[in-house]
Structure 1
Amino acid sequence: MLRATALALACLTSAGAIAAAPSTYGQQLEGFTYPYPLRHFDFQSQGQALQMGYMDVPAKGKANGHSVVLMHGKNFCAGTWETTLDALSQAGYRVIAPDQVGFCTSSKPAHYQYSFQQLADNTHALLAQLGVDRAIILGHSTGGMLATRYALMYPQQVERLAMVNPIGLEDWKALGVPYRTVDQWYARELKLDAEGVRNYERNTYYAGRWKPEYERWVQMLVGLNQGPGHRLVAWNSALIYDMIFTQPVVHEFKDLKMPTLLLIGDQDSTAIGSDIAPPEIKARLGQYKVLGPQVAKLIPQGELVSFEGLGHAPQIEEPGKFHQALLGWLQR
C-alpha cells in the first residue's frame, strides 16, 4: 500500500513538473496572447514576401486626432507595450504597435540585410497602408535607435519623437568594445534560456530587483527562442545584434528637427557587448544617469525626464509615473 501511494505521488509530481514546464511558441510567436487583436501586414522586401504583426488600437472616448506609433526593443515585443497602449488610447490617441521583421509575431527570413533604414522603410509602408501620414513616434531600447532613424528619414511625418531608455546613446565600437561576429552571436543565441534571460534582465534592466510580473516577458522571449523556429529565430536575432552594434545613431541626434523627449530610468546599465569588453572599458559603458543629460543637450529641441532609481523599462516598472510624464509632455 505504501509502495503504491509513493508511486502515485511520484506520478503526480512528474505530471505537475510537465504541466509547469515553460510554454514554447511558434516562429511568429503563435500561441502567445497579445493584449489587443493582432493583425498582419503583408509586403514585399528584398525579393521575398514578409509579414509584420501589429496592433491598431483606436482611441477610447473622445479621439484627439493624433496617432502614436510604438517601437519595441530587442528583447521586447509589441505586446510588452500593453499598459502604454491602454494609457494612450484612454487619453484619446490612436495607437499602432508593430513587431519589426525578425521579431516576435513578424517574419523571420532566412536571408535579410538588416538596417535601421530598412526597418524604418518597412514601418513607413505599414503606416501608409493604414492611412497614417503623420504620427508621434515612441521608441524603447533598440526601438529608440529605430525611432531616431525613422525621424531622420521622414522628418515631415514625425510630429514628435519620444524615446524610453534608448540604447545607442554611445557608440560602443568607437569606445573599444570588441566586435562579435554574426556567427558568434548566433552561437550565443542558440543557448538562450530562462535563467540566463532572467538574470541578465534583473541585473541590467531592473537594477538588481525582480517582480513576478516581469516573468511573463521572460517566458515570451524564451518560448519564442526555444520553439519550432529555434534556429531561424536565433539567426535573425544574431543579424539584428550585428545591426545594433555596427549602425550607431548617436552621431546624428544633432540633426533631429522635431520636439524630442528622453524618458530615462537612471539606473539602467544596458550596453551591447559589455559582457566581452575589457574591464576598464566596461566600467564606462551604459551609464544612463550620465548619458541621458548628455544626449538631451545634443538634440536641438530635446527634453529629459529622469526616473530616479528605475532601470531600462520604466514603463513596465512604474507605469503610472511613466505615463504621467509622457502624457504631460504630449498634451502641452
Structure 2
Amino acid sequence: MLGLGVLLLVGVAGLAASALLTSWLARRIEAEHPPTGRFVDVGPTRVHLVDLAPAVSADENLPAVLLLHGANVQLADMRVALGDRLARRLRVIVPDRPGQGWTGEGGPVVSDPGHQVALIRAAVEAVGARRLIVVGHSLGGLIALRYALDEPQAVAALVLINPTTHPRPGGLPWYQRAAEVVFGPLLIRTVLLPMTLPMLDRLSVRLFRPEPPTEGYAARTGLALGLTPRRFLASMREYADLRDHLTAVAPRYPDITVPTLIVLAEADPIVPPALHGEILAKVLPRGRVLRLPGAGHMAHHRHGEAIAAAIERLAGLPPG
C-alpha cells in the first residue's frame, strides 16, 4: 500500500509540474503570436479579426471576402494562404473563429455552427461589410454553409475548400474517437502542449500530405497557438459535437441558391472528397467543382493562386 501511495504522489506531482509547464508555455506562445488585428465587441465576447483594405481603390459595389479557417488553427492560416493575395484587389476580412486564436468562445455552445455564425456576422456588420463572398476551409466550410443558410441576404457566393459537410458513415475514424477520450481536460491542461510542441514539423507534414508543407508553415501561421489549453479544449468540443451538427444541417443544403465553388483536393486524406464535397456538389442548385488532382488537405496553401483567381472571378473582377 505504501508503494502505491508513493506512486500516486509521484503521479500527482508530475501532473502538477506539467500543468505549471503548460501554463508557462502557453503564455510564451501567446506572447510570440499576439493579436494582429482588431477586437470587435459582439455582446457575449470579442471577435478578433483582420480587416484588409485593397492595395488600390476598389469598386464599392464589389463584395468583401470573408475567410473562415478550419480546426486547430487561427486566422493567420487563411491570411497567409489567401488573404494578402486577395487584398490586392478586394476587401478581405479574416476572423479568428470563436474559441480559436484571440476570439472568445462566447458561451458554452462554441461548437454550434449557428452560434459561430451569429458572432462572426455581428463582427462583420460592425466593421461595415454587408455583401460577402464567404470562403471556408475544412471545418470552416461548414461554418460558411451555415452562414449562407442563416444570412442568405448577406452572401453573394460561397467558396468551400475541402469542406466538412456530411457525417461519416460509421462515425469518426478510430483515432479521432480515441483522441476525445485520451485528450480529456486534465491531460489537455497538463501534458498535451509539452508533448506536441516538439512535433510541429511532423504535424505540418500530416496536415499537408501527400504534398509537402509550405516552407515555415508552423511558424508563419502560429500553429502552436491552437495547442494551448483554452483553444484545444474548444476544438475538442467542436469534434465531439460535429456529427450531430452535420446530421442536422445536411438536409438544408439544397436551400442554398448562391453560386458555390467547391474546391476538392482529390488526395485529401483528412476530409475525403468522396464523403463530403462530392456529395455536397450533387445537391447544391448552383454548385460547381474545381478539382485539384494530387492535392492534400491544405490546398489553399499549395494551390492558393488558382483558388484566389477563382474567388476574384466570382467577385466580378477581370483576370489580373
The residue aligned with 2:236 is 238
1:213 paired with 2:216, answer yes
Root-mean-square deviation (Å): 2.9
CA deviation profile, 1:189-230 (whole Å, cap 9, x unmatched): 552513555434423532163343223257x2324534xxx3
> What TM-score, normalized to structure 2?
0.76
Shift in alpha-carbon separation, 1:200–1:43, aligned structure 2, 3 A: same
Distance 1:250 1:108, change over 3 A: closer
**Map of 2:120 onto structure 1:** 123
1:147-193 per-position Cα deviation (integer Å, ceiling 9, x unaligned): 1011101111111111111123x312x53447669665535755251
Per-residue deviation, 1:26: 4.1
Match of 1:162 among 159, 167, 176: 159
Distance in 2, matches of 1:288 and 1:224, equals: 25
Displacement of 1:260 after TM fit?
0.6
* Other-structure match for 2:49: 54
Question: Is contact 2:211–2:296 with CA below 8 Å preserved after alignment?
Answer: no
**Contact kept in structure 1, 2:207 and 2:298, CA below 8 Å:** no
Answering whether residue 292 of structure 2 is matched by residue 296 of structure 1, we say no
Q: Measure the CA separation in 2 of the matches of 1:234 and 1:203.
A: 18
Partner of 1:133, secondary structure, is coil
Question: Higher helix fraction: Structure 1 or Structure 2?
Answer: 2
Distance in 2, matches of 1:55 and 1:86, equals 11
Could you say which residue in structure 2 is the equivalent of 1:323? 308
SS at match of 2:216: helix
Cα deviation, residue 266, structure 1: 1.4
Instruction: Considering Cα pairs closer than 8 Å and 6+ residues apart, tell me whether 1 or 2 has the greater RCO.
Output: 2
Consecutive unaligned residues of structure 2, counting only runs of 5 or more, are: 1-23
Match of 1:90 among 88, 92, 106: 88
Q: TM-score, normalising length from structure 1?
A: 0.74
Quick check: 1:31 aligned with 2:32? yes
1:42 aligns with 2:41: yes
Deviation larger for 77-86 or 253-262: 77-86
Instruction: Look up the match of 1:225.
Output: 227
**Do residues 112 (structure 1) and 108 (structure 2) align?**
yes
Go from structure 1 to structure 2 and tell me whether the alpha carbon gap of 1:184 and 1:51 turns closer, same or farther (over 3 Å shift).
Answer: farther
- Equivalenced residues, count: 280
Report the equivalent of 1:283. Answer: none
- The 5-angstrom pairing of residues 119-268 of structure 1 reads 119-168=116-165, 170-172=166-168, 174-177=169-172, 184-187=182-185, 189=188, 191-192=192-193, 193-196=196-199, 198-207=201-210, 209-216=212-219, 220-223=222-225, 225-226=227-228, 230=229, 232-248=230-246, 249-268=249-268
Query: Cα offset for 1:291?
Result: 4.4
Please give the alpha-carbon distance, in whole angstroms, between the structure 2 residues aligned to 1:199 and 1:253: 36
State the 1:53 CA deviation: 0.7
Tell me, in whole angstroms, the C-alpha distance in 1 between the residues paired with 2:29 and 2:113. Answer: 21
Q: For structure 1, which runs of at least 5 residues remain unmatched after alignment?
A: 1-22, 271-285
State the Cα distance separating 1:324 from its structure 2 match.
Answer: 2.5
Report the identity percentage.
21
Do the aligned partners of residues 41 and 235 (structure 1) sit closer, same or farther apart at CA in structure 2, a change above 3 Å counting? Answer: same
Q: Which amino acid aligns with 1:57?
A: L
CA distance in 2, matches of 1:76, 1:68: 19
Deviation larger for 115-124 or 257-266: 257-266
Q: Kindly state the Cα deviation for residue 317 of structure 1 after the two structures are TM-superposed.
A: 1.4
Contact kept? 1:139, 1:166, Cα under 8 Å: yes
Contact residue 181 and residue 242 of structure 1 kept, 8 A: no
Mapped partners of 2:28, 2:64: distance in 1: 29
